[in-house]
């Protein structure tokens, strides 16, 4: 198969899968924003929030013990970006997208295992960069090592039959792995990975690290960033029995020691510490700990065999935790739903700010607020009521939601000197009336009977609206009977939009006074 035919078949397969073209756009967007000196945390957060699954997984990681060092609950992406930093967020996002998009559709090819080993290699590169005497950005080393194995993973996912053929040829051990790649694909995995990385907008400095480096050619004067991706990948391949045949475990360890200016003991200890860290965080990334467990086969190299035993012991402990603590699909779906709601809320807030500052009619602001409350909070109905000039009659001006007729009929009313005048008194006092649950705190006895019978809500919130010192009406939202009590999040979202409405009224009043 020739070079161009391989690329054509891979892109054709990607088009059928559908996921990775979207992935490419996400990676490009995040890459460009994080690389720009003019970008801020909100710009990067907005790019990430366009991908709801990515946002939910990122927030989960930001709140894990690995990344959250006493910063409290992180509930918005922009705060995660500020606390964790642009480069770290960029690397986490790329990792999450790689893991999410390369599915386990061909169990015999062990793509999850390949992804786990690449993740482990990337973290090893980062740790060696941190401990080395050479000054190398650890986040750059992480990205370079993560992308190093991209070509092989891409072939396994998109050209499974060709990849099986390659594995069969490799098992016969009649030629080298590098020659098999050229024979079957017309190109090396490294070349293919570089082609993909170019499409994602990665610079030449990253592309140059995606080539194989012979450990026997590495010494103390070698470029650390250029050598680390190949060396850490080679080390992981050795430990997991996928060694490249042309090199030994000792060759790789010696090369890491030389180029990093570290003792052999330090190389071994750094490997173990990194493995512990990866084992701890792998579940949060969506990787199965079972893929961490190396298969022990006596190799004749005592140092290598001892390291594999230690890694197997550590990994097995994580597998047992995995079975107890695996996050359910429902929990992830809930997180994704919350991120979608947060993004929608932010979009509405931006639209409202634009309406207010551009001096648009207050009617347009009211309309957008009623829609926003209904869409972004967990309410079933939202409504705007206005008072007449003598403040003795309410009229429903805007209403949205389910079963709205009874609600509208009740609040189309005049004062009558009876219990139903409660809402006029609340407006007159200019206080918020918040009832989380009508079945609690004696609310059923304190509210008008006709309201309870006719409106049929489980909980509601009412906020007076004023212009200057004059009450002009109210914003109202509720949950229907038996739909559950109103939550703090529902009220918080409602209150944000109510605040924007008050701000719009202040602007409208100031403009009218200046005329």
Q: Are 151 and 191 in contact (CB under 8 A)?
A: yes
pLDDT score, position 370: 92
Is residue 345 within 8 A of residue 376, CB to CB? The reply is: yes
CB 72 within 8 A of CB 83: no
pLDDT of residue 102: 73
**3-state DSSP assignment of residue 446:** helix
Interatomic CA distance for residues 232 and 272, integer angstroms: 13
Given a contact cutoff of 8 angstroms between Cβ atoms, the answer to whether 70 and 35 are in contact is no
- The reply to whether 331-514 shares the fold of 1-101 is no
Residue 474 DSSP SS3: strand
478 SS3 class: strand
C-alpha to C-alpha distances, 268 to 126, 251, 305, nearest whole angstrom: 15, 14, 12
Q: In whole angstroms, give the CA distance from residue 454 to residue 153.
A: 62
Write phi, then psi, for 110 (nearest 5 degrees): 55, 50
Provide the residue-wise pLDDT of the chain in tens; the chain has 515 residues.
Answer: 577 888 888 777 776 665 454 456 677 777 777 777 677 777 888 888 877 778 888 888 888 877 877 667 787 888 888 888 888 888 888 888 888 777 667 778 888 888 889 999 999 999 999 988 888 888 889 989 998 988 898 888 888 899 999 989 888 877 888 889 999 999 889 888 888 888 777 778 888 888 889 999 999 999 999 999 999 999 998 998 765 556 889 999 999 999 999 999 999 999 998 988 888 788 778 787 777 888 777 888 889 888 988 888 877 766 655 555 444 444 545 555 566 667 777 788 888 888 877 777 888 989 999 999 988 888 999 999 999 988 899 999 999 998 999 999 999 999 988 877 899 999 998 989 999 999 888 898 889 999 999 999 999 999 999 988 889 999 999 999 988 888 888 888 898 898 888 888 887 777 766 65
Asked if 301 and 248 touch (Cβ cutoff 8 Å), the reply is: yes
| Domain ranges for the chain | 1-101, 106-324, 331-514
* Contact predicate 49/343, CB 8 Å: yes
Report how far residue 159's alpha carbon sits from residue 5's, in angstroms, rounded to the nearest whole number: 12
Distance CA 465, CA 446 (A): 23
Q: Thinking of the domain 106-324, which architecture would CATH place it in?
A: Orthogonal Bundle (1.10)
Residue-level pLDDT at 471: 92
Taking alpha carbons only, the member of 432, 439, 434, 451 closest to residue 483 is: 439
Per the DSSP assignment, residues forming a β-bridge with 393 are 414
**Structure tokens given for 350:** 């931006």
pLDDT computed for residue 513 by the predictor: 66
CATH superfamily of 1-101: Hypothetical protein af1432 (1.10.3210.10)
Structure tokens at 250: 């000792």
Which residue intervals of 104-215 are DSSP H helices? 111-131, 138-148, 150-158, 160-172, 177-185, 189-199, 204-207
User: What's the confidence (pLDDT) of residue 243?
Assistant: 59
Say whether domain 331-514 belongs to CATH 3.30.110.40.
no
Among candidate residues 76, 55, 58, the one with its CA nearest the CA of residue 67: 58
Q: CB of 154 within 8 A of CB of 162?
A: no
**Cα dihedral sign for 353, 358, 360, 362?**
positive
The DSSP bridge partners found for residue 385 are 396, 474
Q: What is the pLDDT of residue 308?
A: 87
How many whole angstroms separate alpha carbon 441 and alpha carbon 449? 16
């Amino acid at each position: 198969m020739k070079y161009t035919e391989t690329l054509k078949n891979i892109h054709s397969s990607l088009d059928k899968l559908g996921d990775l073209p979207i992935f490419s756009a996400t990676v490009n967007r995040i890459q460009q924003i994080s690389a720009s000196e003019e970008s801020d945390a909100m710009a990067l957060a907005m790019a990430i929030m366009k991908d709801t699954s990515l946002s939910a997984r990122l927030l989960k990681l930001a709140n894990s013990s690995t990344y959250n060092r006493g910063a409290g609950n992180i509930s918005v992406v922009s705060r995660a970006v500020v606390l964790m930093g642009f480069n770290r967020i960029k690397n986490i996002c790329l990792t999450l997208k790689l893991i999410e998009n390369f599915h386990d559709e061909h169990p015999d090819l062990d793509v999850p295992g390949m992804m786990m080993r690449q993740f482990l290699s990337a973290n090893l590169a980062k740790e060696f960069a941190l401990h080395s005497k050479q000054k190398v950005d650890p986040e750059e080393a992480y990205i370079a090592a993560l992308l190093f194995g991209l070509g092989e993973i891409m072939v396994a996912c998109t050209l499974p039959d060709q990849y099986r053929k390659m594995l069969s040829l490799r098992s016969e051990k009649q030629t080298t792995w590098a020659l098999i790649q050229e024979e079957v694909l017309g190109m090396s995995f490294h070349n293919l990975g570089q082609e993909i990385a170019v499409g994602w907008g990665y610079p030449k400095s990253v592309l140059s690290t995606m080539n194989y480096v012979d450990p026997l050619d590495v010494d103390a004067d070698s470029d650390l960033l250029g050598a680390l991706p190949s060396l850490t990948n080679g080390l992981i391949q050795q430990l997991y029995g996928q060694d490249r045949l042309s090199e030994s475990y000792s060759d790789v360890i010696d090369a890491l020691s030389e180029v990093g200016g570290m003792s052999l003991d330090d190389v071994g200890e750094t490997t173990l510490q990194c493995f512990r860290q990866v084992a701890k965080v792998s579940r949060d990334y969506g990787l199965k700990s079972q893929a961490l467990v190396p298969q022990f086969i006596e190799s004749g190299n005592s140092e290598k065999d001892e390291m594999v035993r230690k890694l197997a012991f550590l990994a097995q402990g994580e597998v047992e935790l995995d079975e107890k603590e695996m996050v359910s699909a429902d929990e992830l779906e809930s997180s994704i739903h919350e991120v979608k709601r947060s993004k929608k809320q932010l979009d509405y807030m931006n639209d409202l700010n634009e309406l207010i500052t551009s001096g648009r009619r207050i009617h347009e602001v009211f309309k957008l607020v009623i829609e926003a409350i209904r869409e972004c909070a967990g309410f079933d109905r939202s409504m705007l009521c206005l008072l007449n000039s003598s403040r003795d009659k309410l009229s429903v001006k805007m209403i949205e939601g389910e079963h709205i007729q009874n609600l509208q009929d009740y609040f189309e009313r005049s004062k009558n000197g009876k219990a139903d005048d409660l809402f006029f008194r609340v407006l007159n006092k200019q206080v918020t009336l918040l009832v989380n649950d009508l079945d609690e705190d004696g609310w059923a006895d304190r509210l008008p009977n006709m309201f309870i019978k006719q409106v049929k809500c489980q909980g509601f919130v009412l906020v007076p609206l004023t212009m200057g010192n004059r009450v002009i009406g109210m914003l109202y939202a509720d949950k229907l009977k038996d739909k559950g009590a109103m939550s703090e999040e529902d009220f918080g979202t409602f209150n944000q939009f109510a605040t924007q409405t008050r701000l719009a009224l202040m602007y409208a009043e100031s403009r009218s006074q200046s005329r």
